[in-house]
Chain A
Amino acid sequence: MIELRNISLKYGDKEILKNVSLTVKDNTIKAILGPSGVGKSTILKLMLGLIKPNSGHVLIDGTDITSMKEASLYSIRRKMGMVFQGNALFDSLTISQNLGFFLRENMKLPEEEIERRVTEQIKFAGLEGYEDQLPESLSGGMRRRVAIGRALIFKPHMILFDEPTAGLDPVSSKKILSLIRDLRHNNNLGAVIVTHIIDDVFNVADCVAVLYQGEIIFDDVTEKLHQSQHPFIRSILSDKILEL
């Protein structure tokens, strides 16, 4: 379970997050919805301890990681997989090397086990035949699937997606969303999805938090979003995509 308690964050004079509190339970998919540049990706980085808040606490499975040192955070981070918005694949490594990279780096597993897990993820992502290709030779949707495979290879409890369908064509977007749904049903994984596309929320999320001007203005099950009378939520429900 991930908990953010009264998180505030400033970049210089700009207040990004104001007293934000959020809980993501295991085996649930939670979406964080909001316009671009509002601090949604920052929330994911806070959850991983990649950045520290000015005040408040981040708890992972009850452990407060806010003041943990970098070296102690590595084992906590391995409980979560992260899919970055730009995929963050290593461009000089092949697809199979990208998938196996962190297993070779951080886990003392026999090479056969690493190969087995890499093959499993290649099959899961539907990328058979592309094992020896470099990321640059793949389409955007394929690269996103490799990034998801890389996040899953550790067998994490929770997976964090930063704009999983941004920049993808409608067909690739559908494939990615169905992949996320499969993860929940087949692997019992929890997920946090940061997005500005409201259709993605209704497609995959069990619950949703809406971030607006640095504050959470809605945090409940997805179905109740329609009942909200907040003017911003009413406007996004009619416009569907937030390009503010």
Chain B
Amino acid sequence: MLLTFARKQEKAVALWLKDFILTMQEFFLFSVRAFKAFPKAKRYWRDVLDQATICGTDSIPIVLVSAISIGSLLAIEVGNLLEDFGAKTMLGRSTSLSVIRELGPLLMGLMLSARFGSRNGSELGAMQISEQIDALRAFGTDPVAKLVMPRLVAALIMFLPLTALSDFAGLHSAAYMAEHYHRLDPGIFWNAVYPRLAPKDFVVGFLKAPVFAIIITLVSSFNGFSARGGTAGVGSSTIKGIVVSSGLVLVANFYVSKIVLENM
């Protein structure tokens, strides 16, 4: 009986592994098709602009809210810690490094994974189950070029200014808290920020923007294209897209920091 159970488990694992490898292969080919469609960006410029509005302009409020809250909290908590060591003048240095290298781009990535990724997953999933994607193919239009490439181009363009905005809002909210909560002179705060930031700090932060753009757009769109089984299928493919892209954003955040800081 134990042997039968073990064999069943072995078969289930083998099936899962086969499915996983096939999905990875499909995802790879899907991504290649999206990148190969880049020369058509000029033809689909209206779609690129629409998507840039959705992932860029429309995302400003959520990026600002998350950056301001994390910048403020960071200034309060790090300031309290530094006060114990009599090093409160270092608040600008420590918060600017955290915001520009890590928290600014990471929070922006997670917020956009939820906002832009969920929109992609649900919209493309609904198009898939209502056969609109099949209709595009049936009438001779490449659905990846029409639907995925504009999203990818728009995300690659818009994630950079959003990262800058997130850094800017995070730093200024930290400076505000340093002045009004910790009673630290703004001159001391900013003097610890700008002269001490090295180019590699900006490279780490801003390199994450295109990496996150690729992860969020391709993972959410692929899951939308893979939606099956009615409205419930759209829901589960959207959730899967957000969970996987958020997880990958966290992993990529670590590796980009590690690789750049070790090599610059």
Residues of A that sit less than 8 Å from B by CB:
45, 48, 50, 70-71, 74-75, 77-78, 80-82, 84-86, 88-91, 102, 105-106, 150, 154
Contact = CB atoms under 8 A, between A and B. Distances in A.
B131 interface: yes
B139 A102 contact: yes
B11 interface: no
B141 A88 contact: no
A84 B146 CA distance: 20
Contacts of A48: 137-138
A82 B135 contact: yes
B134 interface: yes
Contacts of B146: 105
Contacts of B140: 74-75, 77-78, 102, 105-106
Nearest to A82: B138
Chain B contact patch, size range = 10 to 19
Contact of B141 (A75, A85, A106): A106
Interface string B112-156: 000000000000000000111011011111100010000000000
Contacts of A154: 139
A88 B133 CA distance: 8
Interface in B135-183: 135, 137-142, 146
Contact of A50 (B132, B134, B141, B142): B134
Interface in B25-78: none
Contacts of B142: 70-71, 74
B137 A88 contact: no
27 contacts: A45-B134, A70-B137, A70-B142, A74-B140, A74-B141, A75-B140, A78-B139, A81-B139, A82-B139, A84-B131, A84-B134, A84-B135, A84-B138, A85-B131, A86-B130, A88-B130, A88-B131, A88-B132, A88-B135, A90-B135, A91-B130, A102-B139, A102-B141, A105-B139, A106-B139, A106-B140, A154-B139
Given A48-B137, A84-B134, A89-B132, 7 more contacts: A74-B140, A75-B140, A84-B131, A86-B130, A88-B130, A105-B141, A154-B139
Please list the 8 inter-chain residue pairs (A to B) with the smallest Cβ-Cβ separation, ordered nearest first: A74-B140, A88-B135, A88-B131, A102-B139, A82-B138, A84-B131, A78-B140, A106-B140
A90 B142 CA distance: 15
A45 B132 CA distance: 14
B135 A77 contact: no
Interface of B: 130-132, 134-135, 137-142, 146
Contacts of A91: 130, 132
Contacts of B137: 48, 50, 70, 77
A48 B132 CA distance: 15
Contacts of B131: 84-86, 88
Contact of B139 (A70, A77, A86): A77
A71 B146 CA distance: 14
Contacts of A71: 142
A12 B132 CA distance: 24
A48 B139 CA distance: 9
Contact of B132 (A74, A75, A90, A102): A90
Nearest to B137: A50
A154 B146 CA distance: 19
Nearest to A44: B138
B132 A77 contact: no
A45 B142 CA distance: 16
A70 B138 CA distance: 11
A223 B130 CA distance: 35
B50 to A, nearest CB: 10
A158 to B, nearest CB: 12
B198 to A, nearest CB: 47
A152 to B, nearest CB: 12
A150 B146 CA distance: 18
A106 B138 CA distance: 12
Q: Which interface residue of A71, A78, A82, A154 has the most chain B CB atoms within 10 A?
A: A82
